[in-house]
Structure formats: C-alpha cells, structure tokens
Amino acid sequence: MSTTFDLIVIGGGPGGYVAAIRASQLGMNVALVEREALGGVCLNWGCIPTKTLLKSAQVFETVKKAGDYGVNVNLPTADLPKMVSRSRSVVKEMNAGIQYLIKKNKIHFIAGTGKIVGQGNVSVTNADGEEIVYQAPHVILATGAKPKELRNIPFDGRSIISSSEAMMLSRIPVSITIVGAGAIGVEFAYFFNALGSDVRLVEYASRILPLEDQEISQKLKKSFEKKGIAIDTDCNVVSAIPKSDKVEIQANIQNKKTVFSSEIVLVAAGIETNTSGIGLEDNGVEVDRGKIVVDQYYRTTLEGVYAIGDIVSGPALAHVASAEAVLCVEKIAGLPCSPINYDNIPSCIYSSPEIASVGMTEQAAKQAGINVKKGSYPFSASGKAKAMGDFEGGVSVLYDEDTREIIGAHMIGPNVTELISEIVVARELESTPREIVRSVHPHPTMSEAIVESLLDLEKASIHA
C-alpha cells in the first residue's frame, strides 16, 4: 500500500467514514484509520444497539398488552440474552455494510491507532506495535468520545458499569440505579423498567432531561413515575461502594444525606472526548476544555488538519458528525459551501414515550425577549394515535410573532423522532405556519398533529 494520500481520516465513526466516502466520491485518494470497529461508538455501542434493545422492550410491552387489541396470548417473558444477541447481530450486519462501502469507494482502510506527527504526517501503530508514517496534505480528526467516568463512582465493569456494559448484561438486574437523566439515562431507565427491573433514576440538575423544554421534562417525569420508575433530582451521588451482592450508594438529595442500594449502578453522566494521544499538544492544535478549536469549516490551528464530531464544540450527535464530515470535505475540495446552522439541529430520545425537539425552548425564547407564541396538540385527540393505542403526549410549536418564524418545536409521544424532520425542513426553508398548514397531510397519520399545533397558534385547531 502507498503511504501517500490526498486525505487521511483518523476515526471510523459516523463522522470519519462519511468523510472518507464523500472525499472518495470527489476523486480524492483516501485512507481511513480506525483502531477498533468501523462505525464507531454510534454503530457498535450507541445509537444502533441501544435502539435495537429498546425495540425489543417495546415489543415485550406490546405483547403484554395484546389483550387490549383483541389478541390473546400467553404471558410473555423477557429473554435478555436473546435481546442482546439480536442487537449484536444487527451491529454485525451494519458493520459489514460499512466495510462494503469502504471497499466500494476504494478507500484504503488502515487498522491501528493514528496520531499526528507533524504537518501532513500521520503515524499509525497496529495491534502488533508496528508503526508506519503516512503522508497527506489534508488530515481529518474524527476520534469521537467514550462514556464519562466519574471520579467518585469508578467503573468496575460488573456492578458499576457504563452504557457499553449495560448493553451486554446476561440477565435482567433485580434493581438498577442510573446516574444521569440525559438521553442515555432515560433510554436505559425505560428499557430496564420495561423488562421488570426496579429502576431508580437520579439527576444532579433540578429536573430530568435538563436540556429539553421544561414541559417535556415534566411530562416524561410523570410518565416514568406512572411506570414505577423512581426519580430523584437535585441529587449529588457522593459514593458508590460495591458490597457482596449490591452497591451501596451515598447521596445528597435536595441537601439531605441519603443511603440506598441497587444490584447495579449504571453511570450515564455524559461523554469524554478522545483527544489524548493523537498528537494535538505536540503539534500546536489548540484545545479548549476538552474540545478541539476549529473554525466554521472545521480547520484547526494546524494548517491542513481538521476536526469534526464529538471532539469539537456542538451537539455530540451522530447526524451532526456526518453533516460536519460532508461540509468539511466539500470545503477541502473547493466546492461552494455554507456553514451548518447549529440552531436547526434536531435532538431525538428513543425512550417510551419518544422525545424530539429542534430550535429554542419556550424558556430560552422568553429569556431572549422574543414575542413567543405557542401552539399545541395532544395525541389524545389524534385518530391515528388512538387506533395505535398509544396516545400519550403531543406536539408543541413555538412561533416568533415579530419575525413570523417558527423558532422551535418540542414533541413527546409515539413516532415523534420521525415527525421532527418536517419542522427541521420547514425551518431550513423558512416556511411559514400557513404554508405548512396549506400542504395537505394524509389522514389518519401522526403528522396531522403538526398541522393541528400550527393551527392552534391562531386558535383554529379543528380536532382539539
């Protein structure tokens, strides 16, 4: 294999492999360096396997309620090993698909750990410790992130675990405490609760999903507590000490010292960037609070070196990394480009109920002095939701009465992770509520909720 390329990408996740494919499409000779499995955390230990497990939990819940739909079945049981096996099978298939795309696009795959060793030079060390230096005028860093470990709750891989171990458990835990009520925490809270575990969800902030709209957080809290999930906010976990068959947890909950225990503690307190050991400091690549400093086209402070995905500022989401990858490569290729609008990035959480949002929250809009108007529609009024037997939640849309723009949307309920895209596209095209309303939506569908919420801005909703 040649050691000289037009572009070298370090990291094979949804940022890295997408960058490599797009660069190859544009005629570049590309090398992709990855030390583990293609697809990164998202495909192997994040987005894909978790959603596969969540689907299993949803099927289990649906079967338990089959009698409500006129279907008589015996009492089902949850087989966690089979669920895990299915999730790993899906991962394997998806991984093979990416390998096929790498070959199809004639990308040179290099297995090993890559790092910058000077401008235009990348050192790759393979599993045998052998080191080879490759050259390219352009290098993209896409090394991603890993689960964050808390100093006072260190992982032991058995009773104190990260999300990676949580996806590989051999049996359903009797009880589990989940530290952190962001997207990862609430997804696992739903999953283990659905399978029958006694779940306790604790959050340092004053509410679960602290980055989401307050109304959404309140609705999810109410839904979770109805399912039997215990929730503690304003909770600072001081320590977690493994005992013989449980973990003893000491915490300050709303300034009150509390001691409780669980069989397993899952730490879901965010992520930590993979920026160490890739040659940043030695080559003048600026880093600020764990994130590589880049401009709007992902150029770092070292000429010819770029960074995308979780290692730069912005939402740590797979679809963001992929969008950054395409923009970065097209800018390198000299194509006309516009920076990504980070105010229009959708966020999706795949618990049950699902949650999706884009744009400003109502609280942020009011604090910014925006003359905000809110239109809402409950799924309890939706014919399709009623027919599905799943009508929890609804849609809310925020509108700036001065600029006549849709400034945000917040949804909770069935299929909202699919519905949010309509608002994302509408905002990108600067569509008005009237234009969306006049676009005839099919009946009966969940998408009618968007029309009804926009009609509600003028108090003209037909079905609510």
CB atoms under 10 Å from CB of 62, counted, come to: 15
User: Residue 127, class by beta-carbon neighbours within 10 Å (0-12 exposed, 13-18 middle, 19+ buried)?
Assistant: exposed
User: What DSSP designation does 282 have?
Assistant: G
Name 330's Cβ contacts closer than 8 Å, sequence gap at least 6.
22, 26, 337
Q: Is 260 helix (H, G, I), strand (E, B) or coil?
A: strand
CB 139 within 8 A of CB 120: yes
Tokens of 258: 């509390």
Return d(Cα 60, Cα 78) in angstroms, integer. 7
Tokens of 51: 């959603």
Tokens of 95: 């991984």
User: Residue 288, class by beta-carbon neighbours within 10 Å (0-12 exposed, 13-18 middle, 19+ buried)?
Assistant: exposed
Q: Is the dihedral of CA 30, 34, 37, 43 positive or negative?
A: negative
Name 75's Cβ contacts closer than 8 Å, sequence gap at least 6.
64
User: Known catalytic residues?
Assistant: 443
∠ Cα 254 235 414 (to 5°):
115
Per-position DSSP letters for 151-218, written without gaps between them: TTB---SSSEE-HHHHTT-SS--SEEEEE--SHHHHHHHHHHHHHT-EEEEE-SSSSSSTTS-HHHHH
**With the CA atoms of 61, 67, 70 and 76 taken in that order, what torsion angle do they form, in degrees rounded to the nearest 10?**
60
Position 388, amino acid: M
